[in-house]
Structure 1
Amino acid sequence: MKKFAIIVAGGSGTRMGAPMPKQYLEIGGKPILMHTLERFFVAVPDSELLLVIPKNDFSLWENLCVQYDFQVKHKLIAGGNSRFQSVKNGLNSINGEDGLVAIHDGVRPFVEIDVIVNSFEEAAVRGSAVAVVALKDSIRKLTDDGKSVYQERQYFRLVQTPQTFQLKKIQKAFDVSELHTFTDDATVYEHQGWQVSLIAGNLQNIKITTPEDMEYAEYLLSK
């Protein structure tokens, strides 16, 4: 089956407090996005990589590719006003194909190769494959009356990306109006009444959002 990877990076990076969106900031000698694209290229060399960024950032990204001599082949797709719309634009750019598609946050450059490969294998069989990790800490649920209630953490998982799907099914799932309950691609898929299949992610697969995340990213690269 033909494989695609949609790398979504439409954020403005306001929480980072940097002069440019976080996806273009440098770690380990090159922008975060380049690390992410390289992970997918190494994991699935025959996949088609689709990078979804704001249309206004196209020239910035092209200049960065020249500056860093970035050679990983990919196609640029204009993002939308929300993550849902950006993913939808990426899916709509794939015409008349049958296959599998991984959807991944551009600012998660530390996803393990095995997680990416496993996501495609699982999605081919089950229709979907969503990377998750178990909780380490105890958790409590806040109630409407201001109290808190203990929750059994073994019944919960932290959701990551990639979230990989059979292409035609996820395209059908995204052919709807956006709802506030769509917090990720899995919830869009689930809205069709389909069961989401979970796979093991990796703890280092952080979403770089704050300056503290940048410091941790540099530490991970140093290892």
Structure 2
Amino acid sequence: MNRNCVIIVAAGKGARMKANINKQFLNLKDKPILYWTLKVFEKSNYVDEIILVLAKDEIEYCKSYIIDKYKVKKIKKIVEGGSTRQQSVINGLNAVGECNVVLIHDGARPFINDDIINEGIKYANLYGACACGVVPKDTIKIKEKSGFSMETPKRNTLFCVQTPQCFKYEIILESHKKAYKEKFEATDDTMIVEKYNHKVFLYNGSYSNIKITTPEDLIIGEKILDNSEEVLT
């Protein structure tokens, strides 16, 4: 078996966007953000199927206005999201069938590319767990509660983690099951596998692989699309 599956998590409400709809359904170049995300995986030769995790009250809307409208064929299952991102990922993992590598990706991160997907699958097969990302451009400070700077880590030791985060299926599934049982809460999936003694290989993502989170990100996203022939074709 050499099947690769991506779980696209799109159940969050995105409060920082301050919009009256889920941020994944806001438009970039007259098409929803989630459309652009799905399109990359739909076209990828490295991904066999997509599992889409959505809020319960948005499933029918997404089917009509994105999946059916734009003929996304690789979506094998649509799963109802949970109360947290972590629960949404568990729901997605439980829906996976036969699969070797699982990629977990943010629905609001539309500028992923095929090279990053391919590298993630390669390193997941080699090491069991990996994540893409970039070295921060800014100097990072560790701040005390009082507001003063406590420490300045060396920038070349820091890494801004993006998605997809890629895993051998049995590793991420078992780690999530343990975390659920022990009520361990994490901000991303690499934290969960690290908790259960799996090392995570970090590889180069892209500074363009941003997550659309705030209104300012929509402006940046429009510029990225303007300059990206690959995404627009």
Q: Which interval holds the TM-score relative to the shorter structure?
A: over 0.9
**142-151 or 158-167: which moved more?**
142-151
Q: Are the equivalent residues in 1 in contact too, given 2:46–2:118 (CA < 8 A)? A: no
Q: Structure 1 residue 135: deviation in Å? A: 1.1
Q: Which residue of 2 aligns with 1:136?
A: 137
Relative to structure 1, is the Cα distance of residues 127 and 45 closer, same or farther in structure 2, using a 3 angstrom cutoff? Answer: closer
Q: Are the equivalent residues in 1 in contact too, given 2:8–2:107 (CA < 8 A)? A: yes
TM-score, normalised via structure 2 length: 0.90
Pair 1:125-2:105 in alignment: no
Q: Which residue of 2 aligns with 1:213?
A: 217
Q: Find the residue that maps to 2:192 and give its secondary structure.
A: helix
Instruction: Choose between structure 1 and 2: higher helix proportion.
Output: 2
Q: Deviations over 1:146-170 (max 9, x none)?
A: 4212221111100100000000111
Q: Find the residue that maps to 1:175 and give its secondary structure.
A: helix
Q: Which residue of 2 aligns with 1:168?
A: 170
Q: Deviations over 1:103-151 (max 9, x none)?
A: 0000000012100111001101111120110011112111245421222
Q: Are the equivalent residues in 2 in contact too, given 1:37–1:72 (CA < 8 A)? A: no
- Unaligned stretches of 5+ in structure 1? none
Relative to structure 1, is the Cα distance of residues 3 and 70 closer, same or farther in structure 2, using a 3 angstrom cutoff? Answer: same
Q: Which residue of 2 aligns with 1:189?
A: 193
Alignment identity in percent? 36
Relative to structure 1, is the Cα distance of residues 43 and 25 closer, same or farther in structure 2, using a 3 angstrom cutoff? Answer: same
Please give the alpha-carbon distance, in whole angstroms, between the structure 2 residues aligned to 1:208 and 1:50.
20
Pair 1:179-2:168 in alignment: no
TM-score, normalised via structure 1 length: 0.93
Q: Which residue of 1 aligns with 2:231?
A: none
Alignment of 1:103-122 (within 5 A): 103-122=104-123
Q: Find the residue that maps to 1:122 and give its secondary structure.
A: helix
RMSD: 1.6
**8-17 or 43-52: which moved more?**
43-52
Q: Which residue of 1 aligns with 2:33?
A: 32
**72-81 or 196-205: which moved more?**
72-81
- Count of equivalent residues: 221
Please give the alpha-carbon distance, in whole angstroms, between the structure 1 residues aligned to 2:52 and 2:157.
34
Please give the alpha-carbon distance, in whole angstroms, between the structure 1 residues aligned to 2:210 and 2:58.
24
Q: Structure 1 residue 43: deviation in Å? A: 2.4
Please give the alpha-carbon distance, in whole angstroms, between the structure 2 residues aligned to 1:117 and 1:211.
30
Please give the alpha-carbon distance, in whole angstroms, between the structure 2 residues aligned to 1:160 and 1:218.
19
Please give the alpha-carbon distance, in whole angstroms, between the structure 2 residues aligned to 1:199 and 1:47.
22
- Unaligned stretches of 5+ in structure 2? 228-233
Kindly report structure 1 stretches of 4+ aligned residues shifted beyond 6 Å.
Answer: none
Q: Find the residue that maps to 2:17 and give its secondary structure.
A: coil
Q: Structure 1 residue 46: deviation in Å? A: 4.7
Q: Structure 1 residue 26: deviation in Å? A: 1.2
Alignment of 1:24-173 (within 5 A): 24-44=25-45, 46-65=47-66, 68-74=69-75, 75-95=77-97, 97-148=98-149, 149-173=151-175
Q: Deviations over 1:159-212 (max 9, x none)?
A: 1000000001111011022423x1100001111111111111100011101111
